[in-house]
Structure 1
Amino acid sequence: MDPCLNLDSRNLDPAIYGEKYCLIDGEIVSINFGYYERILDQIFYKYNYITRGKINDFVIKQNELNYAASKIRSSNVTTAIIDWIKNVFHRPIDGKNIPNICIIELSGGTDDEISDKTFFKALSEFKHKNDFFHIHVSRDVGKKFDFLIKSVQDLRNQHWQPDMIICRTDNPINDNQRKEIAQYALLKTETDMVINLPKVSHIKYVPIILQEQNIYNLISKELHLEIRSNFDEIISELKKEIKE
């Protein structure tokens, strides 16, 4: 989900917004989808990519088709986003199985994109249920956490409270820094829900480092998911692949 008014990523400057990626149905999207397809071993389609521009276009077309005599209001846009998310969630990911969990990446945090309240309002439909878990992922931070603190404050101004923070850094952070972040963000526990992700030399180190901080069990507990018995084996296989 991207608050931009573009219909897709086709005309975005890669020098500013990063590389582009083409989905199997021709949709031009963020390179993030390439990472998701590679790591999750799934194929994504244009309906998996929501921009504010795409939602606006959809609402206008629906208005023209179904209720042209009515005004288009912000509530129409919010309802469209909610319906879009529900539709994606209930689509089989391999032609037959409905997913147990849906990952929603809400872009923003820079260039005032975070100020788009429509996406937050739509997500609030799911947020107040027991099966919603919000992970706030910071951009790279150095020795100071000013940007992270500001982004958390921006979220709290939108009446959003993170359940977990993944803090991306150049180097590992210490327990005192974890405690500082947790206290400011008003997390449930002092440090457990502050996950540190320092820079790595190989992308497959990412899940290994995250799991070393117990992220899988923490999320599974909060979302009442069944814990996979072979997860440690998967991590071991990743370590072997890196060595090879």
Structure 2
Amino acid sequence: MKYILVTGGVISGIGKGIIASSIGTILKSCGLHVTSIKIDPYINIDAGTFSPYEHVVPHITDAIQEWVMRQALIPVDEDGLEPQVCVIELGGTVGDIESMPFIEAFRQFQFKVKRENFCNIHVSLVPQPSSTGEQKTKPTQNSVRELRGLGLSPDLVVCRCSNPLDTSVKEKISMFCHVEPEQVICVHDVSSIYRVPLLLEEQGVVDYFLRRLDLPIERQPRKMLMKWKEMADRYDRLLETCSIALVGKYTKFSDSYASVIKALEHSALAINHKLEIKYIDSTDLEPSTLQEEPVRYHEAWQKLCSAHGVLVPGGFGVRGTEGKIQAIAWARKQKKPFLDANSTEFDPKTNHPVVIDMPEHNPGQMGGTMRLGKRRTLFQTKNSVMRKLYGDPDYLEERHRHRFEVNPVLKKCLEEQGLKFVGQDVGGERMEIVELEDHPFFVGVQYHPEFLSRPIKPSPPYFGLLLASVGRLPHYLQKGCRLSPRCGHSSLVCRGPRLVAAGVLSSLGSLGCLCAARPSPGLWDRRCWEHPGVPFPLAATAPPRRVSCPTATFIWAQLLLTLSWWLEFQE
């Protein structure tokens, strides 16, 4: 087993996760089985709830090492083979007091597994103040010096910077950080994070790992990275925009929904659309806000009405629940695409409990009582949109994190009203997937589909949401769940029986998050759906313009590029 440790210095959020995932992508493209571990430096039993009832265990450094070695052996690929490389991201910044036990654990770990099986990548910042325009190496020097003082010497120093590193700057970092110049890797600002693996590969990272860790890498063109490059190129050429209203409780800090946002981005890229996320605090949609802050209330509803789709991610606690319900009801009535994941019951004294605490848990106890991990869901019918989106399997396996479930006593009553539970657990006791009849796309899931979303393989529920939002879901299902090149990133976009120039449209259709969709309105009569609480009209989409010859030529060139990409991708 080979271990690659990724640490960070100078500032938090420097990009350790992007570097770690990019390293994993490169190694997977070389034919290796790769796993990953993310360590949050909190010495708690349950970092998910941060309950401080136990802070430390004896011989903690030994426990950390044993845990890493145990987790690294768990198969993560579909073939079930044991991973060959484990990429470990150590959160926080070198020097933080909470990360000291983990740094010491890996200092010991490097000798336990031997040098040829352990590699350390340190991610640091090279700022470039606007006042001087000069790239400063002192923060990186200090960060590496502190890391070396703790017993870890970086094999690669990854420098985050706004512009490519000058040769003199790279040589200076090499001299004062005790590494060769080729071990100083520049990761400057790029158009998208999808270009980071390509940037690392261009600077010889694969060849370095081949020598340093003696990896069994095949020296041949890596097809996976070729697809990655094509995907990054498509990202830079996107013309149309699809907007999603994300109605949640923690919208002031977007990292609260990091996995959800990435899943939306993956699906938007798959249908060749730019993604615009409209963050809406669910409390702003509640009637109480209308009385206290009417301007905020109307602005929130205007955002919701103008979005193509609605997404309501999970949350805990009573606050903002009424606003979420208002958004869901509006999406259902207006037939907007809608996706919901992991709702909970908020009134324990209600006489009509639709969502209940799972019976095997102690009600009210929060620590260690969640249903966690990958679970199997069985489809109950073949006539299901979600089943088709998943490729028509008999079952699926997705990751869960919840404490509540739909009350099975009410299943029959709900299905009589058109709410079909098309997916259940193996025992038939828990409702996993729900679809609404006579609705373009209205889907709710108990699990977290965003956790398994990947740039090249987006999550089916999110993918279906965005397809419905741009009015292409029926066409996609009719074609056997295969995207048509003509409906991709080209000069033409399918809109029912018509074809309209894509370069002159600002948006398409409607979109939602638990899957509720409505048909795309006409080009000339497009308007926002009014909500009773919104007394003023909303901006309408401008009518299309004629396409000039240069624009048409550019669009047709993109059509040919997209067609060639799809043919190779399908192979």
Please give the TM-score of this superposition, normalised by the length of structure 2: 0.31
1: CA distance between counterparts of 2:168 and 2:12?
34
- Confirm or deny: 8 A CA contact 1:56 1:77 kept in the other structure: no
RMSD: 3.6
Task: Report which of the two has the higher share of strand.
Answer: 2
Secondary structure of the 1:91 match is: coil
- Confirm or deny: 8 A CA contact 2:40 2:92 kept in the other structure: no
Cα deviation, residue 72, structure 1: 5.2
Asked if 1:181 corresponds to 2:173, the answer is: yes
Among 127, 142, 148, the residue aligned to 1:150 = 142
- Confirm or deny: 8 A CA contact 1:168 1:196 kept in the other structure: yes
CA deviation map 1:9-39 (0-9, x unaligned): xxxxxxx977xxxxxxxxxxxx949x949x8
Secondary structure of the 1:173 match is: coil
- Paired residues for 1:1-244 under 5 Å: 32=17, 36=21, 40=25, 48-53=37-42, 55-57=43-45, 73=58, 76-94=59-77, 96-109=80-93, 112-113=95-96, 116-128=99-111, 129=114, 130-139=116-125, 141-142=127-128, 143-187=135-179, 189=180, 191-244=181-234
2: CA distance between counterparts of 1:102 and 1:56?
23
Cα deviation, residue 101, structure 1: 0.5
Task: Report which of the two has the higher share of helix.
Answer: 1
CA deviation map 1:126-180 (0-9, x unaligned): 3131210111111353211222111111112212211110111100012211110
Give the aligned length.
199
1: CA distance between counterparts of 2:220 and 2:108?
34
- Confirm or deny: 8 A CA contact 2:126 2:159 kept in the other structure: yes
Q: Percent of pairs identical after alignment?
A: 27
2: CA distance between counterparts of 1:215 and 1:133?
12
- Confirm or deny: 8 A CA contact 2:104 2:150 kept in the other structure: no
Cα deviation, residue 83, structure 1: 1.1
Higher Cα radius of gyration: 2
Secondary structure of the 1:104 match is: strand
Please give the TM-score of this superposition, normalised by the length of structure 1: 0.69
Distance 1:166 1:145, change over 3 A: same
- Confirm or deny: 8 A CA contact 1:92 1:99 kept in the other structure: yes
Distance 1:57 1:216, change over 3 A: same
Secondary structure of the 2:118 match is: coil
- Confirm or deny: 8 A CA contact 2:38 2:91 kept in the other structure: no
2: CA distance between counterparts of 1:193 and 1:77?
32
CA deviation map 1:21-80 (0-9, x unaligned): xxxxxxxxxx949x949x8599x99xx444343x4438xxxxxxxxxxxx954xx21111
Cα deviation, residue 239, structure 1: 2.5
Amino acid of the structure 2 residue aligned with 1:100: Q
1: CA distance between counterparts of 2:167 and 2:17?
30
Amino acid of the structure 2 residue aligned with 1:137: V
2: CA distance between counterparts of 1:125 and 1:243?
43
CA deviation map 1:191-235 (0-9, x unaligned): 110010110002221111111111111112211101234444333
- Confirm or deny: 8 A CA contact 1:161 1:185 kept in the other structure: no
Distance 1:236 1:134, change over 3 A: same
Amino acid of the structure 1 residue aligned with 2:155: D
2: CA distance between counterparts of 1:177 and 1:114?
30
Secondary structure of the 1:80 match is: helix
Secondary structure of the 2:103 match is: helix
Amino acid of the structure 1 residue aligned with 2:174: A
Amino acid of the structure 2 residue aligned with 1:147: P
Cα deviation, residue 236, structure 1: 2.9
Secondary structure of the 1:141 match is: coil
- Structure 2 gaps of 5+ residues are 47-55, 129-134, 235-571
Cα deviation, residue 185, structure 1: 0.8
1: CA distance between counterparts of 2:158 and 2:164?
12
Amino acid of the structure 2 residue aligned with 1:109: T
Cα deviation, residue 181, structure 1: 0.3
Amino acid of the structure 1 residue aligned with 2:125: R
Distance 1:208 1:151, change over 3 A: same
Amino acid of the structure 2 residue aligned with 1:222: R
